[in-house]
Structure 1
Amino acid sequence: MPDQVILTLNAGASSLKFALFTASGRPRRLWSGAIDRIGLPGAHFQLSDARRTVVLDEPGRLDSHEAALTRLLSAIASLPGSLDLVAVGHRFVHGGPECDCPKRVTPALLARLRRLSSLAPLHMPPNLAGVEAVQAARPDLPQLACFDTSFHHDLPRLARITALPRAYAADGIRRYGFHGLSYEYIMKSLRKDGVNVNSERIIIAHLGNGASLAAIQGGKPVETSMGFSTIAGLPMGTRAGDLDPGILLYLLQEKGLQPGELVDVLYNQSGLLGLSGISRNMQDLLESREESATEAVAYFYYQARLHLARLTGALGGLDRVVFTGGIGENSAEIRGRICAGLGYLGINLVSHANKSGDRVISTPGARVTVEVRATDEEEMIARHVAAHLTADRMPQPAWMEG
């Protein structure tokens, strides 16, 4: 009898990250990989087994997400063993004010999500393209949308609202928060390891090409560095982070930028890339001897330190910091620089533990426990899909329903 499996998809503008999980019990990763440079020269398909060993590394042109998914489904069909693909789960960056949990994909949901595309223009169009590609290739498969904003849906009111005229709130203008699937995974990881998250004041720092921090109290998020859009908060790979709104008005009114040009500047030309003029990749900048690269790195960890300290104001103190994400998990130098000077909060690191990548990198008996934990957004998506399957909430192809 074929083994039932779940496919998770995280679609980017020119990429498609994927993983295959068992569908019964707690999902177990079987295969994973990525397709890069979709629609560009030099497209690449890479597939790894459960041990993260690369078993396929194949170049070849793929002109669309639909073509990439067709190639992926072909690869799944040729995998050893008998696999029965029963559902697909998608990461969606934005769910808007209505989406407080994962939802089955329906035409009505897709229409609502298309209206949110301008709120996360780097992410939402490719997220939608992933769903449409599955519909075209396998219209029989039910699909589930999992939202990064869901984790932050019930932020305290003062953390949600803005000081714009109240009438704008009716249009969905509020602070949302992102990277929720990552935060949700870390919280489950902490609980699994016996941490009483309900009694601790926790800050999770998801630091990668996209970066944010979240403050957790009583097991629930109470504040975050991101807000209405995915460009708020920390500087990121190509995103500006927090800016004085007057700068935006100046660029529009005095420098003559058109709205589309400003979007491109804020989302694609700023952040580490804009400051360094070299790369959006933190490792590239850490290895560079260029002064602009050094300054970009310094600006990143300085802003991260400020945001971390700011979030303690919402918590009334601090008991635990967790670093995760590509930079948070892998860069001891950045972790060390963020924490430097925060001894007044009770944050003190053991240098050799930090450099060797230990789980706990704070000094024994420190007032604040500082940890490094790997995140797994794909597993979180698979868990949500498996729960819907078990509860029989995905009995038929959801896209066929209005």
Structure 2
Amino acid sequence: MTDAVLVLNAGSSSLKFAVYPDGDGDPAALLRGKIAGIGTAPVFSGRDGAGHSLPSDACMSLPHAADHEALIPALLDWLNSHQGGLTIRAAGHRVVHGGRTQTDPAIVTDALLSELDTLVPLAPLHQPHNLAAIRCVAASAPGLPQVACFDTSFHRTQDKFAQLFALPRALTEEGVIRYGFHGLSYDYIASTLRAHLGDRADGRVIVAHLGNGASMCAIKNRRSVATSMGFTALDGLMMGQRCGALDAGVVLYLMDEKGMSAAEISHLLYNESGLLGVSGISNDMATLQASSAPEARDAIGLFCYRAAAELAALAVAIGGLDALIFTAGIGENSALVRSLICDRLEWMGISLDDGANAKNAKCISAASSPVDVLVIPTDEEVVIARATHGLIHG
């Protein structure tokens, strides 16, 4: 039997998981997998530590239309019987919002869950499912230690001016501030910077986490100084289905002139905007890049324009730029998006090696570029695994 830490990232219709040996250091994953189609027709896929797909007879049998409450016990049973048996000693969870008080990973208690429940309105697409997974594990494996790791925690190093809105102070004191998200991804990238940049690792770095959800973070001394997302995960960059930064007057117009309710506006901004809304075709960047429709080109062009503008603004917070890191699904895989963003930033000293960029190489900046431009795959799961092991074992 192998002692292991289970890492879970629960969404509304999917459950991503990874299993790591329960040990010190930076362990390699023993297994990675995903259950998609939760609530309709769940489908399991998984890979072993070498990246090989698990054979079909090693995969779980999933009941039709099963929800998290049925699937998490099935996943735990499958792990216990897999390859001679894995003994899960603890479970670590991605939790999107930790509010102002949760500045580090925390062992799950009833009091913590109650506190995190109050933050659901600030991350309605993620927080309810993150917490549901914690409760499902607790019901399936009573006594199993669980750890919550927060996407907001990495940004609590920012000074007050990076966090404040120009609103009445009473609202600020109630918690209406800029929180920032994708912190687990930024935490991982920051932990790798010295290996990639040497002495420049503590310099002025901007990380572009570009995926269906997208944001950027300005980092100095490997700590968050400023970030594009704010009070909620709607702010900042244009995303797959989210609008990003928006004049608040648009919301007032939709209410007063279009008669839209708060729920209708929420659905519009979270689910019908971004790449999907502008293109009318898809929220998937690869699909849009393959399309010849002018609406698809508009969506890509706006995505890259907004990203370049946000990146330039973040450089103000750190006094310039020494390195730019692209990560996450679009950032790691779209040479076109990287090129279109960097072309607008030549005045900042950013220059790409087109051949290296086309190959998704690690270093894609030209030899003459004073700004290093790198592509670094992120790994939020290993950040959670490290934190979970550290807390459980003291």
TM-score, with structure 2 as normaliser: 0.96
Displacement after TM superposition at 1:75 (Å): 1.8
Secondary structure at 1:189 match in 2: helix
1:36 alignment counterpart? 36
Matched residues in 1 for 2:295 and 2:66: separation? 36
What amino acid is aligned across from residue 89 of structure 2 in structure 1?
V
Corresponding position: 1:321 with 2:324: yes
Alpha carbon RMSD of aligned pairs, Å? Answer: 1.3
**In structure 2, which of residues 258, 261, 278 is the aligned counterpart of residue 258 of structure 1?**
261
Tell me if the contact between 1:20 and 1:29 (Cα under 8 Å) persists in the aligned partners: yes
Q: Secondary structure at the match of 2:30?
A: strand
> In 2, Cα distance between the equivalents of 1:43 and 1:363?
45
**Which residue in 1 is equivalent to 2:167?**
164
User: Where in structure 2 are the equivalents of 1:27-106 lying within 5 Å?
Assistant: 27-40=27-40, 42-56=41-55, 60-106=63-109
Candidates 103, 108, 111, aligned match of 1:108: 111
Secondary structure of residue in 2 paired with 1:195: helix
Partner SS for 1:16: strand
Map 1:338-353 to 2 at 5 A. Answer: 338-353=341-356
2:6 is aligned to 7
C-alpha deviation, 1:60, in angstroms: 4.7
CA distance in 1, matches of 2:63, 2:50: 25
Deviates more, 1:330-339 or 1:215-224: 215-224
Which amino acid is 2:23 matched to? S
Which one of 271, 275, 281 corresponds to residue 274 of structure 2? 271
Question: Which residue in the other structure is 2:209 paired with?
Answer: 206
Cα deviation, residue 118, structure 1 = 0.4
Q: Distance in 1 between matches of 2:197 and 2:269?
A: 41
Count of residue correspondences? 389
Partner residue of 2:227? Answer: 224
Give the Å deviation of 1:78: 2.3
Measure, in 1, the Cα distance between the counterparts of 2:209 and 2:316: 19
Deviations 1:184-215 (A, max 9, x none): 00011112446235641000000001100000
Contiguous gaps of at least 5 residues in structure 2: none
**Structure 1: 5+ residue stretches without partners:** 392-402
Matched, 1:238 2:237: no
Deviation at 1:43, TM superposition (A): 1.6
**Percent sequence identity over matched residues?**
46
Residue 21 of structure 1 is matched in structure 2 by 20
Which AA in structure 1 matches 2:291? S
Taking the aligned partners of 1:293 and 1:207, their CA distance within structure 2 comes to 17
* TM-score, normalised relative to structure 1: 0.94
Contact 2:200/2:322 (<8 A) preserved = no
- Paired letter, 1:283: A
Opposite residue 249 of structure 2, the aligned amino acid is G
Secondary structure of 2:208's match?
A: strand
The 1:197/1:117 distance shift into structure 2, 3 A limit, reads farther
Is residue 44–residue 60 contact of structure 1 (8 Å, CA) maintained in 2? Answer: no
Mapped to 1, the partners of 2:216 and 2:339 lie a distance apart of: 16
Cα deviation for residue 56 of structure 1 reads 4.6
Q: After alignment, is 233-242 or 47-56 more displaced?
A: 47-56
SS where residue 187 of structure 1 aligns? helix
Q: Cα 1:164–1:189, aligned 2, differ >3 Å: closer, same or farther?
A: same
Q: Is the 8 A contact 2:106 2:147 kept in 1?
A: yes
Return the offset for 1:6.
0.3
**Alpha-carbon distance, 1:242 to partner:** 0.5
